[in-house]
Structure 1
Amino acid sequence: MTMPYLAQPDQQQKLEWLDGGQFAVLLDSAATDGQLTVGRFTVDKGEAPPYHMHTREDEVFMLLKGSALLWCDDQQMELTEGGIVFLPRNVPHGYRITSDTADLLMMCTPAGIEGMFRHAGRDMATPRPEGYEISPDLLAEAADLHGQIVVGPPR
Structure 2
Amino acid sequence: MSMPYLAQADQQETLEWLHGGTFSVLLDGQATDGQLTVGRFRVTKGEAPPFHLHTREDEVFLLIQGSALLWVGDEQMELSDGGIVYLPRNVPHGYRITSDTADLLMITTPSGIEGMFRHAGRDVTTDRPNGFEISNDVLAEAADLYGQVIVGPPR
Same fold at TM > 0.5: yes
1:98 paired to 2:98: yes
1:59 paired to 2:70: no
Q: Which residue of 2 aligns with 1:71?
A: 71
Divergent runs of 4+, >4 A: none
Deviations 1:1-44 (A, max 9, x none): x9710000000000000000000000000000000000000000
Q: Which residue of 2 aligns with 1:130?
A: 130
Contact 2:5 2:31 in 1 (8 A): yes
Percent identity (aligned): 77
CA RMSD in angstroms, aligned pairs only? 1.0
AA matched with 1:46: G
Q: Which runs of 5+ in 1 are unaligned?
A: none
Change (3 A) 1:3 1:34: closer
- CA apart distance, 1:110: 0.2
Q: How far apart, in 2, do the equivalents of 1:61 and 1:33 lie?
A: 21
TM-score (structure 2 length as normaliser): 0.98
AA matched with 1:18: L
Count, aligned residues = 154
TM-score (structure 1 length as normaliser): 0.98
Deviations 1:80-101 (A, max 9, x none): 1000000000000000000000
Q: Which runs of 5+ in 2 are unaligned?
A: none
Q: Which residue of 1 aligns with 2:5?
A: 5
